[in-house]
Structure 1
Amino acid sequence: MSSYYPRTKDLTRTRKSLTESPPSSPSPTDKNYRHDRLSRYDSSGESATDKPMGRTSSYTRRETRLAALNRQEQDSTAKDYKKMYAEALHENERLKSRLHDSKQELVKIRSQLEKVTQVPPQQKTRHERISERSTVLESEKREKQALEKRVSDMEDEIKAFPALAQVQALRRVNECLLAENRAMLRVLARLSETASMPETEDL
């Protein structure tokens, strides 16, 4: 019992000396390790939390550049459509003007034809030939009216179409107007032949 007590007392003193002793200073190896970490942090200028922010900003810049490029492409496409639409409108107006002139010429020749067809009874055979030609002219007139109806329908469709569809519709209208002008020229040529025929026969 007497031998146990001194041992317990020595253990108590040892523990007390350990608790009261100051903390040991870090070793040179630990100091060098911390210094290396701090120097790497200072040289890079950014921490681990800054790297995702850098990637986000670069992604945002790339998206901004792509959006600007897309906007430029859309603007150039819109300008091309506007130019095509303006050219088609100009061509359409030109063809309409030609069609109007052809109609006036047709009215003039028809009036001349009516004067020519008023022939005396002794020229009945010639009158019959003119009547046959008038039948041909009536068929040409029906064809012309059908073309005019198609042009009118296409013009109504143009009002409901977007820009690109309007350009395509105007091209179709222009083609119809060209066909109609050719038909009008054929009619004018036949009417001119019919109007000049009685004079040559009288000679």
Structure 2
Amino acid sequence: MSSLYTRSKEFTRNRKSQSDSPPASPSPTAKTLRSGGSNPTSSDSYGDRASARARREAREARLASLTSRVEEDSNRDYKKLYESALTENQKLKSKLQEAQLELADIKSKLEKMAQQKQEKTSDRTSMLEMEKRERRALERKMSEMEEEMKVLTELKSDNQRLKDENGALIRVISKLSK
């Protein structure tokens, strides 16, 4: 892998140096091809073609290795992403289950509280009804006792009147009998 890295460094250096330099005059083979004549340096054109072919093959090899490395990296990244997403999903599922259990627990507690409240209210209403009945009964007794008190006061006043009359009659009889 380090050899690929050094090659790519050299390649970028070579490309920079070639692109930074001013355009060179056409090679002798290019001149001969344009002019159509033969030149004694035909071996140079073969060497140029061979070096161009070698450069092209080297470039293709570098591109192939880079694409395979990128594919491996992307596959690794996808695998890591998949694994991390899977673990996160599992954590979220466990949290969801915990939340659902907690929700069910809270619902059951709420239902119990509602039942207790309903029982308390029904107990309260029954207690209220009983208290109302007792109050009515006590009010009735009280009104009866008030009537009895009235009757008793009337009886006392009648009794006192009768006593007074009786005393007066006794005096009259005693005077008559003397």
Same fold (TM > 0.5)? no
Larger RCO: Structure 1 or Structure 2 (Cα < 8 Å, ≥ 6 residues apart)?
A: 1
For the aligned pair, the TM-score class normalised by the smaller chain equals 0.3 to 0.5
Q: Which entry has the higher C-alpha Rg, 1 or 2? A: 2
